Each structure stands twice: as C-alpha cells, then as structure tokens.
Structure 1
C-alpha cells in the first residue's frame, strides 16, 4: 500500500512526539473503519471495516489530501443511486486497495516519516450500491529521541479476555500534555515518544470502573497493564445551595432556563432564581396573583410559562381551580397572559410541548369541587392565544406525557393510555399497560421518558395495586403496544426521574408503600437511588440522597451534567420540612478521567438542518454529540422538551461539527443542551435554541 507514498506525498513537518489515528467525518452505512497498530515508520498495522458481508466487495481508499481531489473539493457528497444516501468522500483517493473480508494489513514504510494519510473504506453490496465508512486521519511520525514509551494490555478481570476499544489517556494535571489511545482487538495499547515527566495514566470503558495511576516517563520503557473491574462507582451528593427562607414542599416547579440558572417556584409570588455554578439564590419580584399546583414550560423567548393550578388564597382546598396563565420574563418581570378557555380552570393540568413550540394542556381538576375534566386546549406562544382541541377518553390530572418522535403525544395515567394526533386533534387509545392499575383515580405512580431509540418508557409501580407489576414498561409507537420491562431489587413509585446524557436514567427516592424491606424509610419514602439502562434493562444502585424527599421534590439535569434536587421534605404532610437545601448528585461519569470541554460554538440559535461546530479541548476524539431538551419538572411530570438525540460527529483536529436533523417531530423547536461525548463521558453543555 505505502510503497508509492514517497512519490505522491508532499511532507510538511509537524512538531509532535507521536503518531495518531483520528476518526473524522460520518459513515453512510453500518460499517466503521478502525486502525490497530502503531503509527510510526516501520510498524505493522491493520485496518478493519466492521459489519461487512462475505458477498461485499470492500475497497480501501487512500489519499494524501483532505481538502481537494480529482473529483472536486472535499468533503464531496457522492451521487445516488450508485451510492447510499448521505455518502461523503473525505480523501483525495490516489490509491485503492482490496480489503479481504474487510481487513487490510501491512507495514508502514520505514523510510518515510512525519506525514498524514487519509483513509476510507468503500463497501459495495450485491446490488451494486456502495456505502462509505467514516474517514481516518493517520499521522505517522517517529518517536522523538530521548523520550519514553508506555505500552500495556487491558483485560477483563472477570474472564481474563482482552478488552478492546478501552480509552487510554496519558496526561499532566494541567492538560498541557494530553495523549489518547484505544486498545486494539488484543487489548494492547502504546504511547511512544512521550516527553519525560510525571503523568496520569487512565483507563476507561463503559460499564467498567475507571482506573487511574501515576507514571513517570523516562527513556526506560514502561509496561502498564489494566485489569478492568465491573462498574461500582456510585457518584456522590453534595449541598450546593439553599432556597431559604422558602421551603419547596407542596406545589413546586423547577425550570432550567436558557442562561443555565434554575427557576424554582411554588406559588408565583415567592420565586427563586438559583445559579448552580455560584450556589447563589436570588429572589425576583412577585407576580400579580398567587397560584400553585400549576404546570409550565420554557418558551422560545426564554420566558417561563405557567398555567392553571389553584388560587393561592386557599391552597389546601384543592377546589379553587383557576384558568390563569402568566410568564416570568428574562428581565425578571411578570406578564399576565390570556386565561385558558376552560372557565372552571385546570388544577394539576397535563402539559406537552408540540413540535412547533405550541403547548397542549389537558385534564386537571375544575372549580368548584375539583371534578376532573377530559378537555384539552392549545396555547400558541407566538400569538399568545388559546384554541380548543379534541377531548380525551378519560378525565385525569397531572398525567405523564411525552411528544413521540412521530409527532404524536403519548399520555399514560388515566383509565387507558392514549395518543393525541396534532394534525387531527383526536385522542385515541393505545394498547393496555401490562400492569394496568396505576393508582387511578388517585395520583400517578410513574413518570415517562421518551427514549433515544423512539420508544417511551414509564418508571414506577404502585406495589399495593400491582404487587407483581414491573417497575418499567416500554411503549412501541409503531404498534401502539406496551411490553413489560425490568425492575430493581426495590420497587417503588413516584420517584425522581432524570434522563442522563450517557443514555441511562436516574431514578431517585420513591415510595415503597407497605413493602417489608431493610431499606431505611420515612413513612415509606426512601433515599435509595438507581441507574437504569433502557437498552439492557439493567438497574444499578448508586449513592443515596442526603435527605428523604417525596414526590413534591423537583429534580433536573444541569448543563454541567450534574443532577440537582430540592423540596419534598414535608413527607406526606406528616413530618417536616426538614431542610431547604439544594443538593447535587455528581454521577459516576464525572469521575471517569479527562472530560472534553466545548467552546466557540458557531451559533447558539441554529435552525433544523444546520451544521453546528465548536472547539474541543483537550484534543480528544469525540464519539457523538448529544442534544437534550431543557426540563420543566413538577411532581412526576416534565413540561420541557422530551428529547435525547445522539448525533454523529465530524471531527478535524480540535474542531467538531454536527448536523442537526431536519425532521420537525424529531427535533422540536426550543432550548437544548448540547453535550460532546467521549463514550459515556459528557462535556459541560452549550445551551442552544433550535429554531424552525
């Protein structure tokens, strides 16, 4: 392969101590190209294209430029129908070589040094249609004289087998020196030609504990092996602020705002703005009227929308439902909005954001006797007007709901789950839950999460009415059916639920009701927390909360990837409140080595289909970008944008870019956190507003 490099390559010296193989661009099929070996002259290497069939013709495409080619400027979109949709050429393609069964092995030319070569694999199927892998920027250079080497092997401690694709990082504490490698199929890795000094060497693989040790690099080679241990890290809780003199222990709501601050409120007259970075709480002016038990969301203009609930003059009656709506603006002032069309009001209304930014409100108790309604209406923030729409099959209040990836709204709690079609305004029943008795007509026992793969999952189970029921159930929108999921070893209901950027779901606290258990509890409320992996159904216990908190707590994800909670310490109106603390949980992924950092976003107000770029530090290989909608939480419902979208990333050096989806239902307008991911390790997020 590389015998012709000398005649084709114009060398440009670069002062680096070691070679590298860096993925960039995107693939248009199921195959990924990987490099195993050492990127130094005279070293053996193997290139492997994954997921190829015996009947596929696989070709390695080699080029010495990634900006232009004989076909035109790079990257170059390849035409249909010869190529699959979305195929892009990233290399100048001077050489084409066969890859037998998707594998090519050779030795890097020993006489050549300090150069880049750009690689892709083409996979042609039996029908003649081709796809392309992502590209690899292979930088080949000899180790600098007098520097040191670190080599080793990674193995699973449970089996002794090699652990491949382990992220190995070698770095100084100030990150002035940072190197990254992946273990190969044999578990081997190497850092060659590293400047002498004291470093930290880290080993990270999803679902396995992070390990880090100090190493001293010198001219004497080091061998550092890692035996991977099953993940046991539980994260940790800390007190980061206070809502004092307020105690949020009844009709609480929390909204993550577009500037990263959190709006806490329970009656619209005693609001709190909390800065999670400084830990400082400030207290904005009151609104014109007191209302609690409302629902809300964050509008495109950055205002906090609140609607329904009850008149605060008699908060314990639950009978004085109101139709009021208002918003807390970004300048710290309040604006009254037109009343809802339901004259008897909506206490505990359900709320779901539609793809175009309008808000669907439904159900709720009505004045004067708290009778629930099955009616629905829509608020348009652009015109600040209300309109009626179809009624549900059952009356309910604070029903968990999400916007599905197909644009329909799924609502669970009630006599039957239902979906709402915004194009027709009609509600229709889905198939039944596998555990149908979900506390109705009391309060919902569960929360709902829209998953990245398009399914939805409910979490929580009433063990009195459904002692054998699962704590998770999955909804398949393609068939409108439900299937039972798994449960942790301690079932409970009405816990705190937060979708995390690594794809796991945090489930905190909850009510064990009358179960006999060794778990400490207060009137059935536990401090127990678990992580749930929807893809595998695995639950894992993590650090307990610092306080007993019941469903009046408000809990959400921050841009720094921590989870915060406050309120809910008046347990079942029988004890407390015990604290006004705001607590933060630092998940295990925040202690898994060097995290990427994003800066210099090309825009923070992209439209759908926009390519958004940012700088990453240190220059680590980003595996995906994750968009997560900002939350608005109260009780067991979330009026924010129910999205976690995992998007492929294009990376060239320290710049990463991602192209946003064009599908309006998949990517609703509104506010998102954009995380750069290295496997399960998130950066701090950049907050962006997606416009139509």
Structure 2
C-alpha cells in the first residue's frame, strides 16, 4: 500500500515535471480515478488516494501558483487556455429556446462550497488561504466570502481556527448555515468540529463537537428541525439537535464512505438515503434511530452523480459513475431515474429519459418552475475521474418533469468539473462557479476562480427577439407560513398564474445539493389574491427559509419572495397522546407488519414518533396504523401494516380529540386501560377519556 506521503510526493513530482516538461494536450498522465473497485485498491488505499487528489496539506496559494504556471505553459503549447470551452461550443441561439450565459466574473474564493442565504446573497468558501506557507500544517484557516449576485460584489468572511474544506453543510431553521467536519491537518484527519454561519451578522460561531471526525459527510435538515450527519469516515450517524447538542444515531451504521451521500427528508418525515451507492435506506431519526426500509435504486454506483427533488417525495437522480454504456467503456452514465417516496415504506423507482451525454462532476439544479437544469461535468473517466478537459460537457440540459424529456441548451464559457457548484437564485437565474483544487486539476492548469450565471429559457420572450419576458410580480406575501395552513399572496397577474411553489435554498458541493427541493402548492384565485395552502408535512418542507415563486401560464416565473416555513406542529413526527398521559407505542420498536399497537408512558422515543400523513394515514416506521381486514367492530385491535391506500388505514382527526376510522366514524381509537402496554383498539364512541387524544 502506498502511503499518503508517497502519493503526495508523486503528485508534487508530477507537477514539478509538468511545469517545465513536454506535454501533449491539456492533461499529461494524471493519476487514475479514485475508485478502488475499478483498480483493485482497498478502501484505505482509495481513501488515501482520494485525499491526495484533493491536495491535503498543500497551501492554496501554492496550488494557485502552480496551476497558473501549468495553464500558461499549456496555453502556449496548444493555443487554448485550460478551462475554456472549445471554439464553437457556445453557439449563439435564441435565449427563449436555449437560455443565455452571462460573462465570466472573477472571484477571490473558488466556489467549491456554495450556500444561498435567505437574503439572496451567497456564502462561498474553499480551503486554506493566502497565509505564510509554514502555517498551513495546522489548517487553521478557511477562505470564505459572501457574494452578492445583484451587483457582483463580495465581502470576505474568512474563518480562523479550522479548514472547512471537505465539510458537509445545510441550512438551520433560522436560515443560518450549519457546517460539520472538514480538513484537520496535513495528516489526512477529518475534524470533529461544527460551525454556524449567521447570515444576518455574517459571522461564524463554533458549535459542539461531533463524536468522531468527518471528511466528506452530508448534512440533511429534518421535519423536527434537527440535522442528520452521515458519512465522512465514521459509520455511526449523528444528529445535530435544535438545542445545538449532538447525539449519536447508533442504529444507523450503514454508510461511512468519504464521499458525500445523497440524502433527503421524505414526506413521511423519515430520512431517505439513496446514493451514490446501493442499497438505499429509509431511516427513522428519532431517538437512537432505526432502519425502516431498504431499496435498490439501480445497478449503477453513481459516484459524482447528482440529484434534485422536483416534486413532493419525487427525486431525479442523474448521471455519475464509471461504466460501459452505449458500447463505450469508462464513461459516466447518461441515464436518470426517479425515486418516489410517497408510495410506501420503500421508494418506487422508475426510469426517465436519458441525457444526450453521460456526465459526472455535474450539477442538477431544480429551477423556479420545478424543471431540472444540468450543467457542467465530464463525459469520460478513461483518463481521470475528477477532471478531463478534453471530455468536458459545457452545454446545459433541461429536464421537463411533465414529459420526462431532456432539451439541450446553450453552452457555458468555462468548463465546470471537479469542485464546481451551481445553485438557483431568487431571481430565477442559476449561479455556476468553481472547479479545480486537485492534483489532476493542477497538472492540467485547471482552476476556475470565478462565476457565471445561466438565465434559463423561461426568462425570455418566445418571439425570437431575445428580450426578457414579462414576469409576474408578487406584490405581497407573508414572511412566514405554516404546514398545511392557508396564506395569501397578492399579484396583479393572479388570474394568469399556473403554478405556485416553494424552492429550498441550495447547499451544494461535489455535485450534491442537500438544500434544494421544489414543493408545488395548492391554491385558489380570487381577483388579485392567491389563497395558497402550505406544504402538507414537515417532511416535505423542513422548517426554514424558502423561495416562493409564482409561474404564469406562459411558463415565466416571478422573482421569489423569501418565506419562512414554520416547524410542523404536532402530530407530525410526534406522539399521539391520550388524556390519561399515555402515548401510542410500537412494542419493542418492532419494524414488522402485524405488530399490534399499545399505549405506554410517553418517552419521546422512536417507538412513539408518529406521522399524520397527507392522505390521513397515521404512519409509524413507514407503515400505517391499520384496521385488520377492515373489521370495523367494537373491540378490534389496531396493528401496523404496509401502507396500501385502503380505507382501513385512513383516519378522521376530530376537533373533539377523537381519532376515527373513516370506514366507520361511529368507532373511536381507544386505549383499553390506563396502564402501560394497554391494547389500542377501536370501540363505540362514548366521549370517554381513553378515546380522547392530542397530537
């Protein structure tokens, strides 16, 4: 096994040689892709090679200097500056059909990590900055900035004390950014640290330490306001609670890889983990956790693929991997699949149309109308799995969720591969940027310390003029909205509105955006007023800030208003408690169907974490509270059973505190006694205390 120091020495020797030696093309003998399954490495060797590629321990100033020297040499030899799209790739076209790219704007920080803030500004950071080289072994610094897309200005907000390179991050309910893990030192360790960036004061605060150091974890916000941290080295997941305390999730130890997992909060308030590897898991994150379902997504390891949740419970997973496809070996897939988490315990998987070209290192960004834009990436892994400028894909592609088809759009000026990002802005544009900071990148002279904006076709008139479209305007909207609660939006164009939707603010790095999701909302129209119903569950819309868009019948979206979705009230992810102080409980936290429910002293455990779902089912561990065989007779016991859409699993939640089966509303859910382990049954409604519930 090659040691890390040997790998770094090899990388630096290669760079030193390339700085003055001959080269053909834009790259010369870069290290191979870091997939130990492809070339026989152990997981430990793969991990060391991965971090060696990320140039751990090398000052960013030195990375930039050497990269620039290589870029200048390659440009002299080939006539093409590394990172620029090939001549003719960016053809002029009607922006109403193909969209339009902005000029490139330089930045002082490479957009490797991008979080869109509730005020529309963007927090961006990369790695260690321009301090004396001898200080970097401690990795006690992070270059960071707040970027304003309105006028392309920036404010440096560098962090002292740690290097947040390779950290995971997500929005907290108050709009602040939780960052977990990072790069501890030149000896390859992750960090146990967490930090919170305050978007209002634009300052950093150190949080509680995790139990174990992480490097390449993902962080996902949940219905109860907690954040789940998975991957990055440790096998045991952890939960960042709303009080800032971090607790272990010992019943989930299925993912430890140092590559960002694909995760999302599901409508049933559980956590879905569905990539990049198989199998995927459904996880109850209450208490010490439980795996409540496991499903295969497809047969492809979609490493450095991307995903986007474009509808309630529905997620597009696209590209990634290194396979033989269309008769060509060592290429990322161009295929895409849809995961539907609304169908029961495990997500249903269906295929959709494929992109025009395979991609990895790309970004799939949900747009203001719920369509999905794919930008950047590479179409081959034959040379390297991180960067190959000769295999760049610079055209954008747009996926239509109604037709399931892709449309090829115009091409960017810059190549965006490893360490590039893309995120939706409140004005409906997509901010793209970054690329570089790896050994193969440095050898190729590839470092994109800049951003570009893409304006999708929906922002332009469809008459061929290239002029901006007339946009609907939200003239009034509430600052906060509730789960399932009605609110009003005022727009002079209300009569022509075809869609109302919320979009989560992006938290994107390494092709993974944990924050974005499109949530269509139901509404009615009267004059200039839209009466809108809030998201159906906290699993669909975890508490926090969202962009509220209205889209007209011509497909043109408004500029977004920022609204804060409140934490879901009980009964979402909460106990069902009767008036005697006992809660509905799953004996032994059993995950099996036909387990009869009981009541037990309320203890905030996962056995009592229930979800009243949008279809009036009462879900426990992904299964539904069920009247066995629809036997609506007084005294019938209630069990949990796989959700199947039948009336035996639907309940009427009354203002009088009763819970009644819709199949016979003369019966009420009841506890058989006030003692622990009392049976849960349906009995003739009488107004008794054992039939009254709070949720």
Identify whether the pair has TM-score above 0.5, normalized to the shorter chain: yes
Counterpart for residue 658 of structure 1: 532
SS of structure 2 residue aligned to 1:493: coil
- Residue 498 (1) aligns with residue 365 (2): yes
Q: 2:388, 2:411 → 1: CA distance?
A: 12
C-alpha spacing 1:637/1:652, structure 2 compared with 1 (3 Å): same
Q: Deviations over 1:538-596 (max 9, x none)?
A: 11100111101113112100000000011114574232345422210000000133210
SS of structure 2 residue aligned to 1:681: coil
The answer on whether the counterparts of 1:506 and 1:530 sit within 8 Å (CA) in structure 2 is yes
User: What are the equivalent positions in structure 2 for 1:500-519 lying under 5 Å apart?
Assistant: 500-513=367-380
Runs of 4+ in 1 over 4 A off after TM superposition: 465-470
Counterpart for residue 427 of structure 1: 291
SS of structure 2 residue aligned to 1:239: coil
User: What are the equivalent positions in structure 2 for 1:513-662 lying under 5 Å apart?
Assistant: 513=380, 522-569=389-436, 572-573=440-441, 574-592=443-461, 593-601=469-477, 603-617=478-492, 621-640=496-515, 642-662=516-536
Counterpart for residue 173 of structure 2: 300
Counterpart for residue 261 of structure 1: 121
Q: 1:376, 1:500 → 2: CA distance?
A: 31
C-alpha spacing 1:657/1:514, structure 2 compared with 1 (3 Å): same
Q: 1:446, 1:428 → 2: CA distance?
A: 25
Q: 2:531, 2:382 → 1: CA distance?
A: 50
C-alpha spacing 1:560/1:231, structure 2 compared with 1 (3 Å): closer
Q: Deviations over 1:628-687 (max 9, x none)?
A: 1111101122231x4311113333322333121352222221110000110321100001
Q: Deviations over 1:303-332 (max 9, x none)?
A: 221111212x43xx6x21111101111212
The answer on whether the counterparts of 2:355 and 2:406 sit within 8 Å (CA) in structure 1 is yes
Higher relative contact order (CA 8 A, sep 6+): 2
User: Greater shift after overlay, 424-433 or 444-453?
Assistant: 424-433
SS of structure 1 residue aligned to 2:535: coil
SS of structure 2 residue aligned to 1:526: coil
Counterpart for residue 386 of structure 1: 247
Q: 1:566, 1:466 → 2: CA distance?
A: 29
Q: 2:354, 2:309 → 1: CA distance?
A: 18
The answer on whether the counterparts of 2:270 and 2:282 sit within 8 Å (CA) in structure 1 is yes
SS of structure 2 residue aligned to 1:626: strand
TM-superposed deviation, 1:233: 0.7
C-alpha spacing 1:240/1:619, structure 2 compared with 1 (3 Å): farther
- Residue 323 (1) aligns with residue 192 (2): yes
TM-superposed deviation, 1:395: 3.0
TM-superposed deviation, 1:462: 2.6
SS of structure 2 residue aligned to 1:682: coil
- Pick aligned residue for 1:278 from 136, 151, 159: 151
Listed as ranges, the gaps of 5+ residues in structure 2 are 1-93, 128-140, 328-332, 462-468, 568-695
Q: 1:431, 1:594 → 2: CA distance?
A: 45
Q: 2:153, 2:104 → 1: CA distance?
A: 9
C-alpha spacing 1:570/1:577, structure 2 compared with 1 (3 Å): farther
C-alpha spacing 1:580/1:437, structure 2 compared with 1 (3 Å): closer
- Residue 449 (1) aligns with residue 308 (2): yes
The answer on whether the counterparts of 2:95 and 2:457 sit within 8 Å (CA) in structure 1 is no
SS of structure 1 residue aligned to 2:459: helix
- Residue 357 (1) aligns with residue 225 (2): yes
Listed as ranges, the gaps of 5+ residues in structure 1 are 1-229, 366-372, 439-443
SS of structure 2 residue aligned to 1:598: coil
Q: 2:382, 2:371 → 1: CA distance?
A: 26
C-alpha spacing 1:621/1:476, structure 2 compared with 1 (3 Å): closer
The answer on whether the counterparts of 2:267 and 2:538 sit within 8 Å (CA) in structure 1 is no
TM-superposed deviation, 1:341: 1.5
Q: 1:392, 1:415 → 2: CA distance?
A: 15
C-alpha spacing 1:432/1:390, structure 2 compared with 1 (3 Å): same
TM-superposed deviation, 1:465: 5.1
Counterpart for residue 261 of structure 2: 399
Q: 1:684, 1:540 → 2: CA distance?
A: 24
Larger radius of gyration: 1
C-alpha spacing 1:309/1:605, structure 2 compared with 1 (3 Å): same
Q: Deviations over 1:228-287 (max 9, x none)?
A: xx997110010374322x334xxx211111111000012363111111111111112533
- Residue 414 (1) aligns with residue 274 (2): no
SS of structure 2 residue aligned to 1:623: strand
Counterpart for residue 216 of structure 1: none
C-alpha spacing 1:678/1:232, structure 2 compared with 1 (3 Å): closer
C-alpha spacing 1:423/1:337, structure 2 compared with 1 (3 Å): closer
Q: Deviations over 1:46-96 (max 9, x none)?
A: xxxxxxxxxxxxxxxxxxxxxxxxxxxxxxxxxxxxxxxxxxxxxxxxxxx
Q: 2:382, 2:206 → 1: CA distance?
A: 46
Q: Deviations over 1:88-143 (max 9, x none)?
A: xxxxxxxxxxxxxxxxxxxxxxxxxxxxxxxxxxxxxxxxxxxxxxxxxxxxxxxx
The answer on whether the counterparts of 2:424 and 2:430 sit within 8 Å (CA) in structure 1 is yes
TM-superposed deviation, 1:449: 2.1
Q: 1:289, 1:410 → 2: CA distance?
A: 30
SS of structure 2 residue aligned to 1:407: coil
TM-superposed deviation, 1:467: 5.6
Structure number having the greater helix percentage: 2
SS of structure 2 residue aligned to 1:595: coil
SS of structure 1 residue aligned to 2:479: coil
Q: Deviations over 1:179-232 (max 9, x none)?
A: xxxxxxxxxxxxxxxxxxxxxxxxxxxxxxxxxxxxxxxxxxxxxxxxxxx997
- Pick aligned residue for 1:337 from 207, 212, 218: 207
CA RMSD of aligned residues (A): 2.6
Q: 1:280, 1:487 → 2: CA distance?
A: 38
Counterpart for residue 222 of structure 1: none
Question: Would you say how many aligned residue pairs link Structure 1 and Structure 2?
Answer: 436
Q: Deviations over 1:13-50 (max 9, x none)?
A: xxxxxxxxxxxxxxxxxxxxxxxxxxxxxxxxxxxxxx
TM-superposed deviation, 1:607: 2.5
